Structure 1
Amino acid sequence: MMSYISVLTLSFLSLIFALDSFGQEAKTVFIDARELTLVGKVRHKGPFYHRLDTVATPNLPKAVKALATHSAGLAITFETTSSKIAAKWCTGSRVPTDNMTGLAVEGMDLYIKRNDRWQYAGVARPKSHECNEVEIVANMAAGNKTCLLFLPTYDETISLQIGVDSGATISPAGNPFKKNIVIYGSSIVQGASASRPGLSYPARLSRETGLNFINLGFSGSAKMEIDVANLISDLSMDALILDCVPNPSPEEVLTRTADFVTTIRKKHPKIPIIAIQSIAREKGNFDTEVATKVLLKNNYFEAEIKKLQKHDPNLYLIYAEGLLGGDQEGTTDGIHPNDLGFDRMLQKIRPMILKILQPYGI
C-alpha cells in the first residue's frame, strides 16, 4: 500500500505539473491567416476574403455583389506542430437567420488530415456577431498536422488570426485540391442550411474528391443574368456546374438558360458543363402551387439544355429525382437541405460528376 508521504509527494508533483501545463496553455501566439494558404478562390484579386473582386465587376447585380463578399467555400490551409489551434476573427454584423445556425453564418470548422483523409477536428463557435476569440482544438498528440479551416458561410470575413503554441511551427500548406470546378447556384450552393461551413456540398465535394470546387452560390440571387455569365466566362476553370434553377422564375429559366450557357461557351468551348435541375421543394408536398412551379422550372430547364445538347457534346444534365431522398426529411425549412439532405445530394451527384469529368482528365 502506498505510504501517506508517497501520496503527498505524488499530489504535489501533480499540482506542479498542472500549474506548468496551465502556464503553457496560456502561451498562444497568433499569426495573420493571410500569411498562410487560401483555397477555394479562382482569382486572387480584390479583398483577400471576398470570393470575387466586385470592384472589377461593376455591372453585377447589387445582391450578387453583396453576397460575393461572403467567404462561403473559402478555407485556410496550413501545417503546424502545435498541440492546440485557436482563432481570432472578425466578421460583419450579420445576424443568423431562422434557417441557419450561427456557427454556419459566422463560425468556422477545422479539419485535419489523418490517414490521407480530412477528419473533423473542432469548431470556432462565435459568441458575438462581430469579433471572437476561441480555442478550436487542444491536447493534440505531438507531430506535424495538415489543417484546413473553413471560413464563415453567410458573412464577410474581415480579419482572421490562427493561434498555436508558443514555440510550435506554423507554415503555409500547399493547396490540397487540384483543378478548378466552378459551381454557380443558389443559397443551396452557398451552404444553406448546412449546420457548419465544412458541410456545404461544394466543401464536401472538395474534401471527398481532391478536386477544387469553387463556391459561387448567391443566396436567392442566382438568376442567370448575362453580366454574371460574362463574369464566369472570364474565370480560369476546368469545368462548370450550374445548380441555379431554384432562384429564377419559370419564365426566366425559359428565356435565360440558352443565353447564359452560350455566353460561357464563347470563351470555354470544350470544358464540361454540368447542369443540375432544382431539388424538389418539400414545401410542395402539400402546397400544389409550389410543386407546380418547381416542376415547370425543371421542365423548362431540361428542354433548354436538351436543345443546346444537340450542338454541344460537352453539356450534361443531372435530373432532380432522388436528390433529397423520398421521406421528406431532407430539408430544414422545406426548401434548404439539412445535413441529411446534403448527404443524400452528395450520394447521387458525386459519382455522376466524377464519371462525367473522368474523360476530360479531371
Structure 2
Amino acid sequence: MVRFRSFSLTAFLLTLFAANISAQQKKPLRFTDAHTLTITGKAWDSEPFYHRLDTARYAALSGTLKRLATHSAGLAISFKTNSSTISAKWQTSPKRPSDNMTGIAYEGLDLYILQDARWQYAGVARPSTHDISETTIVENMADGEKTCLLFLPTYDEILCLEIGIDAEASIVPNTNPFRKNILIYGSSIVQGASASRPGLAYPAKLSRQTGYHFINMGFSGNAKMETAVADMIAPLPMDAFILDCVPNPSAEEVLERTANMVNTIRRYHPNVPIIAIQSVAREKGNFDQHIARRIKLKDQYFRQEIEKLQKDDDNLYLIEAEGLLGDDQEGTADGIHPNDLGFERMLQKIRPTILEIFAKYGI
C-alpha cells in the first residue's frame, strides 16, 4: 500500500502565503532594446549591430573568419540607469558551448558597474539550455544612477538583446567610457578562451584597468596573418596595433607572413606603435616534445622577423613569451588556453610594457 507523508495544512498555507508575498514584492520590469543604447568594442560603426565587423565588405575573407566575426567578443553595451534591478532577455545562435569554456563566457552576459572610479563586477546572465534566455543579473541595488557596461558573449552571435529595469526607472545611452582605439589581432586567446566570463577576456580587462579602448579582433584558430586580414585591419583609424597572433599559424607561415602584416599596417600608419607578442607557452608541451619544438620554432621565427623589421622601424616592439602564464603550469584550462589566473598573469607582464610604450607616444 502506498503511504503519503503527512503534511501540515498550516505549513502549506504559510508557504503559499510567503510565495504570494514574494511575488507581490517583485517589481514589474520594463525592457529596452539594447540597439538603442551605446555599443563599445567595435572597430567602426557597422551593421549588423552585434557583429564585430561587416563581413559583406570583405569578400576575400574565408567563410570561417566571417562566421567568427559574428561573435560578439569584446563588445559591450554602455548605459546609465537608476534602476534597483537589471535583467536581460537575449537570443543567441543554436550553437552549444565548447568543452573548455563555461556557458556564461560562451553565450552569457557579464555586467560591470562603475563604483569609486573603478569598474566593479555586478553579476552575470546565465544562458538557458535553449537559444532564448531571460534572467535577473542584479537586484536590490541602492537608489541612484549607475554607469553600466554589459559585456556580450565571447563565442556566440547575439541575435537580439533587451535590458530590463524597474518599470518606473530610466535607462539612457552612455558614451564610450574608453579613450583612443587600440586593435588587438590574434587567436582564440585574444577572443577569450578560456576565461570564465566575457568580462575576463584579456582585451576587456585591459580596457577596464587602463581606460583605453581595446578592440578584440581575436579569431579562434584562424589568426594566421593572411593578406586579406592584413588588408582589412591596416586602414582602420587606430592609435596602436597589438599582434598576438603566433599561436595559430605554422612556423612556415610565421616566417612568410609576419613582414607583410607589419608592412601593410605601416603603409597606412607610418608612426603608430605596433606591439608584437610571442605565443603563450603551451603547457601541453611540458611532456609532448613535438608541441614544445613547434612553439619554440614559431617564437624563434617571429622574433627573427620582428628584429629584422626593427632595424628600419623604431615604432615596432616585441614582448617575449617567457613568464606570460607563470611557471607553475596552473595558468591554462586545457594546456593551451589561459584560465582566469593565466589571463591575469599575462596582464601583469604585458600591461606595464603597453602603458610605457603608449606614454612615449602621448596616447
Question: Fold-level match, TM-score > 0.5?
Answer: yes
Counterpart position of 2:271: 270
- Check conservation: 1:275, 1:315, Cα contact below 8 A: yes
Counterpart position of 2:126: 125
Shift of residue 26 of structure 1?
4.0
Counterpart position of 2:285: 284
Is residue 2:261 matched to residue 1:254?
Answer: no
Q: Structure 1 counterpart of 2:352, which letter?
A: P
- Check conservation: 1:95, 1:129, Cα contact below 8 A: no
Counterpart position of 1:144: 145
Counterpart position of 1:351: 352
Shift of residue 45 of structure 1?
1.1
Distance, in Å, in 2 between the alignment partners of 1:199 and 1:36 is: 22
Counterpart position of 1:212: 213
Distance, in Å, in 2 between the alignment partners of 1:127 and 1:306 is: 49
Counterpart position of 2:136: 135
Instruction: Describe the SS at the equivalent of 1:266.
Output: helix
- Check conservation: 2:91, 2:158, Cα contact below 8 A: yes
RMSD: 1.5
Counterpart position of 1:308: 309
Counterpart position of 1:41: 42
Instruction: Describe the SS at the equivalent of 1:326.
Output: coil
- Check conservation: 1:25, 1:165, Cα contact below 8 A: no
Distance, in Å, in 2 between the alignment partners of 1:69 and 1:54 is: 8
Is residue 2:338 matched to residue 1:340?
Answer: no
- Check conservation: 2:188, 2:219, Cα contact below 8 A: yes
Q: Deviations over 1:252-281 (max 9, x none)?
A: 000000011111110111110000000010
Note the residue ranges of structure 1 that are not aligned, 5 or more in a row.
Answer: 1-14
- Check conservation: 1:109, 1:196, Cα contact below 8 A: yes
Q: Deviations over 1:62-118 (max 9, x none)?
A: 211110000000000110000000000001111111101111111011000100000
- Check conservation: 2:224, 2:249, Cα contact below 8 A: yes
Q: Deviations over 1:130-189 (max 9, x none)?
A: 110000000001111001000000000110000000110110011100000000000000
Counterpart position of 2:330: 329
% of aligned pairs identical?
66
Is residue 2:116 matched to residue 1:100?
Answer: no
Instruction: Describe the SS at the equivalent of 1:89.
Output: strand
Distance, in Å, in 1 between the alignment partners of 2:206 and 2:288 is: 32
Note the residue ranges of structure 2 that are not aligned, 5 or more in a row.
Answer: 1-15
4+ runs deviating over 4 angstroms: 15-21
Distance, in Å, in 2 between the alignment partners of 1:167 and 1:23 is: 16
Counterpart position of 2:170: 169
Distance, in Å, in 2 between the alignment partners of 1:355 and 1:16 is: 62
Instruction: Describe the SS at the equivalent of 1:351.
Output: helix
- Check conservation: 2:27, 2:167, Cα contact below 8 A: no
Count of residue pairs brought into register by the alignment: 348
Counterpart position of 2:199: 198
Shift of residue 360 of structure 1?
1.2
Shift of residue 25 of structure 1?
2.2
